[in-house]
Structure 1
Amino acid sequence: MLFRPARIIYTAIVLMILPTPPAYADEASDSDAQSILHMLDYVSVDYGGSVLYGKVLNEREYGEQLEFAEHAAALMKKLPEHPNQAGLILDAEKIAKNVKERSPADYVTGLAQKLRKDLIETYQVPVSPRRFPELLPALALYQQLCVPCHGPSGHGDGPRSKDLNPKPADFFNDVRMSQRSVYGLYNSISLGVSRTAMTGFSHLSDEDRWGLAFLVSNFRIPLEQIERGRKLWESRSYRGPTPDLIALTTLTGNEISSRYGEETKLVYRYLRSEPKALLTVPHATLIAASEQLDLAMKRYREGDQASAHQLAIEAYLDGFQPMEISLDAIDKPLRRNIEIEMMNIRQLIGSNAPADTVAKKIDLAKTLLRQADENLRHGNLSVAKIFLSAISILFKESLGGILVLASLMAFVVRIGQRRDRFYIYAGWGSASLLGGLTWIIATWMTELSGVIREITSGVTALIAASMLVYIGLWLYNRTHWQTWQSFNNELSDTQLRKRVLWVLALLSFCVVYRAAFEAALFYEALWVQTSTSTNAVIWSGMLTSGVLLLLMGIILFRFGLLLSGKTLFTSTSILLAMLAIIFSGQGISALQKAGIVDVSKIDFVSIPMLGVSPSSQALLTQLMVIGLLLVGYVISILRRKH
């Protein structure tokens, strides 16, 4: 009977996954703060159109502005207690008082914008999307939901507009739109606008609402201005400020012009039409990581432990991990320290540690992220470092796979079953194609989150580990000379032979797909972080690494053919067992990064290439695989004696 370890490994993994109990947040404060910001935005934009030199120009519009200002002041008192709350209430009442007294529009607008900024900073209100918006799906939504009122081009001249009072917003009104932020538009889409036909679209996903907000914010911008902004952004001569997502969503066109000038405004317009272009700045995702940590701290203080833990995971996977390659080449100890601190944050949140303890760790991580930001901003990757990085990515990710493939090929050829190489070819060939397809989808069609990346990596590693244990013990069980003599007779069993070959195909697929998947995403990150002039260097590094791996595979394959049957079976069995131990540790580590498996840190060395990490779950899994292999070897030896 063939030995079957896979179920035992899977059972062990399931037992080690310790679910975190769900937590539920009281989101009243977020809702109230968002409503206040929404009303302040309208006061800052529309108050000037209702009052001039102390006289009311439009009674209905002025009444709305007064109502917004007074309601914002009332809601401010309902927010959670905070040392700055009293000052915010006074400022809100001051705005309501000035609106009531018909003060100059510029003065009221300035007060409203300042209060909006202070409110965001005090209560850490989320004012940017968690992921870069997709504008193509947003355009389809606009055609479906917005055209009847706002018209196909956004002039406010849709089929229903003639029956509406007030008229729908004209997104080509440059004076008004220059006073609006993307976040203000997002609030209007989410909450609607009172006393108008504009209802809230809260049923849409957060991503869809942000996409619509980015889309309509740029309707009036000519394509030539967006193209000028693109050239400025990509130019080495651009010396303007580097925006992050918060700046991109909260600053109005007028604020950008007055603070930074017209060139920077063109850059902002381009980035709002192509938000993912922010990723072309090496340190952009580090900024996003800091923002995610701030939001995680806010959720944790509110009692939403599950959301805080997820945000901390996303801060690491989507914010910091893409920068690891470049940072490794500039300051490897700093990269390691950030990785450790961000893991500590996830562990503290998962263990329900005191909020102040978590806050201190987050402050430390943000300090390290700022340091990394500075290093990436001022440090340059030399051609030599880019070349070595390109070599190491493919070599590290594919070394285990090439060892497995060479060993399996030598085994199949050595036993005289050359025709069965097709199964191994089919396994690694389909894995290579699927890995390339995954890269294409992740790069050009949709954004593949860090959580999905790590889950995919972890699951394929654990499946490969199971197959390695299976094949390793199966081979070791046939190293005795008597079983070797009867081996060809055993393979004459067609059903058994096919089962073994399908296992070899699945194993080939898993080890190659995991390598192709990981390498493609790391190369994508390296391309983003370097200029186009170094593309040839990256390709040269990839080619060099591929040649080295191919040579290693050929040498191992040829060497395997020279060995006796017993020696080949024994050495291949031991090699596959070692790789099973490595893959099992790497698989658990990947699932820990994705938040699927808990992290219990222990004082131990970290050797990622060998799957060794300082966590009890990863080490316990490797020890269980070692124990399983030892049991299998002992059983095999006892069978030979009897």
Structure 2
Amino acid sequence: MNKSSTHFCYPYRSTNKVKQKILSIITVIFLSINLFSLPVSAQTNDTAQLRQLAQLAEYIGVDYADAVENGEVVNAGEYQEMLEFSAMIIDRVSSQVGSDHKAAIYSQSVALEQAIKDKMSVSDIRLISAGIRGQLLAILPESPLPSRLLPEKDTQTLFQENCVSCHGVMGKGDGLLAKGLSPEPTNFTDKERAVNRSLLGLFDAISNGLDDTAMPAFTQLKEQQRWSLAFYVGGLAFNSSKPSTKTAQEIDLQNWINFNPTQLINADNNIDADYIDAYRASPSLLFNQQQNPIEITKSQLIAAIDAYKGNEFTKANTLAVSAYLDGFELIENSLDARDEVLRKQIEVNLINLRQVINSPGEEKQLMQLSAEIFTQLDEAEKLLTGAALSSGALFSASLVILLREGLEALLVVIALMTVLIRTNRRDALKYVHAGWVLALIAGVATWAVAQSIIDISGASREMMEGVAALLAAIMLLYVGIWMHSKTNAEQWQAYIQKHISTQLRAGTLWGLTLLAFIAVYREVFETVLFYQSLLTQASPEQYSVAVSGFITGVVILAIVAWAILKYSIKLPIARFFSMTTYLLLALAFILMGKAITALQEAAVISISALPMHVDLPWIGVGSTWQGAFAQIAVILFFAFYRISTKQKSIKSN
């Protein structure tokens, strides 16, 4: 970083006709979904350009002290850079700032340039540059905030790998390449500059680089890595030797990132230097205090309403989605055990709020609906925090979580196993077992990574589950159609003699592994998350009750698996394939509904409510046209296949 920038110098082979039909259903389903899809929002180019302007203004405010002292130029190179950057700001304001704000920012930019030419004091320059930056931040959408930083050791490694050549091992700007650079790299241990440098400015410098300097853009680094580096170098000039009596919740993280320490102290008399030192030197303190899910729901809703009032509708919708996925969804099972009706009311209202918040001019309806939601959330909070869950409620919630999340996956795995057993390919069972075992490991590993290394948002979690469910639904429909074509005993014997052994040797067995993996993986991560949330509503003495509910669920699922394997194998081959076909069709129907619901919750697919409320989550049926359309498409495709194959059979006879 240079100066206030930051230098970190898918089972079986089928006929072509069947394959074409499968491709058709995939096309139909995806086209159906796309009819209701919403565009994925991203940071616009205009936003990036305005952020760079704010970065330049802060750069000048920080480094002007190196150029002018007591009205005299003390470093000609630095002074020339100040002139060039101030002229650059004027030019970019003219082309990049909207007409509603251009005049005020432009006049301040001209004033900044003139003040530099007049060699005014550092305090005057910082006042003007801070004003420019403040106005730019006011018209910019708030940047997504980091929810977790990398462990300090990992961040230090990043710094050593990317930054020391210019900024030195200790961040003092004395790296091996420093002497050949103009301007010289930033000394991050300089306290005077550090108190005038914001974390957002550091992050933008790492992300975008800085024009006309040796500071490059570190686009190869992930966002969390860049935030971690920004917090790291932003704390090198501070120490936490003096304890702070304040808590991190006394200052909003957005403000903590947007503004420098001097601005924060000037804006709030209750914030002192010790407070700044403690949290700048140890930024992990800002991320260690975890809010409970209801607090997250409330805070995200408040932020969503504020964004709506500021006409930032995309941001408001993102925050409203987060309020449900990152907050309320995590306590649904616990709340169900106490008041299922209240849970459904809150869920419906949160969905309704998302529909309202996307439309301008609906502020009155939004405020009425949000007031009702906050009242319901207060009621839910009293239920959840007034006392620990009763042992009976805790046992039921624990049991229901496992049965609800595990039954579909179990049925898919068992169906695959029974097919292999009926085709005398018990040797291939290991492929199915490999799939679900790997899914268990991967699911738990994903959860662990999400807890300690990276942050997986609720929207990302629902996206992952939705895509997995969609793939599983399509694959199950494919297998179901293949099995239906073998319900005639003569067809099956001919198929066995002619195809099954060679096809299973041709590599398609790995398709069994993939399907088993997808079916199980999509449930594991969320199941662990739900149990984690459930245990927060129980006292330590009740953990054994939750475990007993889990074990009971495992026993029930094992009995279901044993019963299906035992009795389905005894069925005549034609009846076996017929029953299995409809089981797989039912699972495809359910998973398709759940896929659409998950993608709607992640705000990938829009929500259009049916005229009547339907809530049958066990079979994936909800109250939206998108879900109904997708599930009907599954049934219609299978019906079309049956009719067409029957007509061909009649003609051939």
Say whether the 8 Å CA contact 1:179–1:254 is kept in structure 2.
yes
The reply to whether residue 177 of structure 1 matches residue 194 of structure 2 is: yes
Please say which of residues 281-290 and 453-462 is displaced more in the overlay.
281-290
- For 1:602-641, list aligned pairs within 5 A: 602-604=610-612, 605-631=614-640
Q: Which residue of 2 aligns with 1:260?
A: 271
Q: Which residue of 1 aligns with 2:32?
A: 16
- For 1:381-396, list aligned pairs within 5 A: 381=385, 383-384=388-389, 390-396=398-404
Alignment deviations for residues 168-212 of structure 1 (CA, whole Å, 9 cap, x no partner): 3211112321221111223444566678x5435376567365443
Alignment deviations for residues 85-115 of structure 1 (CA, whole Å, 9 cap, x no partner): 5555566666667777777755764565455
Counterpart-to-counterpart distance in 1, 2:255 and 2:605: 35
Task: Specify the SS of the correspondent of 2:34.
Answer: coil
Q: Which amino acid aligns with 2:140?
A: Q
Gaps of 5+ in 2: 1-13, 336-341
Counterpart-to-counterpart distance in 2, 1:631 and 1:194: 61
Counterpart-to-counterpart distance in 2, 1:377 and 1:247: 28
The reply to whether residue 322 of structure 1 matches residue 326 of structure 2 is: yes
Counterpart-to-counterpart distance in 1, 2:571 and 2:605: 41
Q: Which residue of 1 aligns with 2:338?
A: none
Counterpart-to-counterpart distance in 2, 1:374 and 1:261: 34
Say whether the 8 Å CA contact 2:463–2:598 is kept in structure 1.
yes
The reply to whether residue 510 of structure 1 matches residue 515 of structure 2 is: yes
Q: Which amino acid aligns with 2:279?
A: Y
Q: Taking structure 1 as reference, are residues 297 and 31 closer, same or farther at Cα in structure 2, changes over 3 Å only?
A: farther
Say whether the 8 Å CA contact 2:40–2:604 is kept in structure 1.
no
Say whether the 8 Å CA contact 1:6–1:470 is kept in structure 2.
yes
* CA RMSD between the two structures: 5.4
Counterpart-to-counterpart distance in 2, 1:263 and 1:540: 46
- The Cα shift of 1:243 comes to 5.2
Aligned with 1:199 (options 201, 212, 215) = 215
Q: Taking structure 1 as reference, are residues 584 and 560 closer, same or farther at Cα in structure 2, changes over 3 Å only?
A: same
The reply to whether residue 38 of structure 1 matches residue 46 of structure 2 is: no
Aligned with 1:334 (options 346, 350, 353) = 346
Q: Which residue of 2 aligns with 1:565?
A: 571
Say whether the 8 Å CA contact 1:34–1:187 is kept in structure 2.
yes
- The Cα shift of 1:40 comes to 3.5
- For 1:77-476, list aligned pairs within 5 A: 80-81=97-98, 88=105, 109=126, 112-113=129-130, 116-121=133-138, 123-127=139-143, 134=150, 139=156, 142-163=159-180, 167-189=184-206, 197-201=213-217, 207=223, 209-221=226-238, 240-241=248-249, 245-256=253-264, 258-261=269-272, 264-265=275-276, 268-269=279-280, 272-273=283-284, 277=288, 282=293, 283=295, 315=319, 320-326=324-330, 328=332, 329=334, 332=343, 333-342=345-354, 356=360, 381=385, 383-384=388-389, 390-406=398-414, 421-422=429-430, 424-448=432-456, 453-472=461-480
Aligned with 2:525 (options 496, 511, 520) = 520
Alignment deviations for residues 261-311 of structure 1 (CA, whole Å, 9 cap, x no partner): 46753663377358764766645587678879988999989xxxxxx6xx7
Q: Which amino acid aligns with 2:621?
A: V
Q: Which amino acid aligns with 2:28?
A: A
- The Cα shift of 1:581 comes to 1.2
Q: Which residue of 1 aligns with 2:559?
A: 554
Counterpart-to-counterpart distance in 2, 1:377 and 1:429: 38
Say whether the 8 Å CA contact 2:304–2:319 is kept in structure 1.
yes
Counterpart-to-counterpart distance in 2, 1:277 and 1:35: 30
Counterpart-to-counterpart distance in 1, 2:636 and 2:34: 22
Q: Which amino acid aligns with 1:170?
A: N
What is the TM-score normalised by the length of structure 2?
0.71
Counterpart-to-counterpart distance in 1, 2:376 and 2:131: 31
Q: Which amino acid aligns with 1:7?
A: L
Q: Which amino acid aligns with 2:283?
A: R
Q: Which residue of 2 aligns with 1:351?
A: none
Alignment deviations for residues 128-171 of structure 1 (CA, whole Å, 9 cap, x no partner): 55775657776555435432321122012112334556543211
Q: Taking structure 1 as reference, are residues 85 and 432 closer, same or farther at Cα in structure 2, changes over 3 Å only?
A: same
Task: Specify the SS of the correspondent of 1:603.
Answer: coil
Q: Taking structure 1 as reference, are residues 520 and 62 closer, same or farther at Cα in structure 2, changes over 3 Å only?
A: same
Say whether the 8 Å CA contact 1:292–1:315 is kept in structure 2.
yes
Say whether the 8 Å CA contact 2:58–2:129 is kept in structure 1.
yes
Please say which of residues 137-146 and 424-433 is displaced more in the overlay.
137-146
Which structure exhibits the higher relative contact order, with contacts defined as CA atoms closer than 8 Å and separated by 6 or more residues?
2
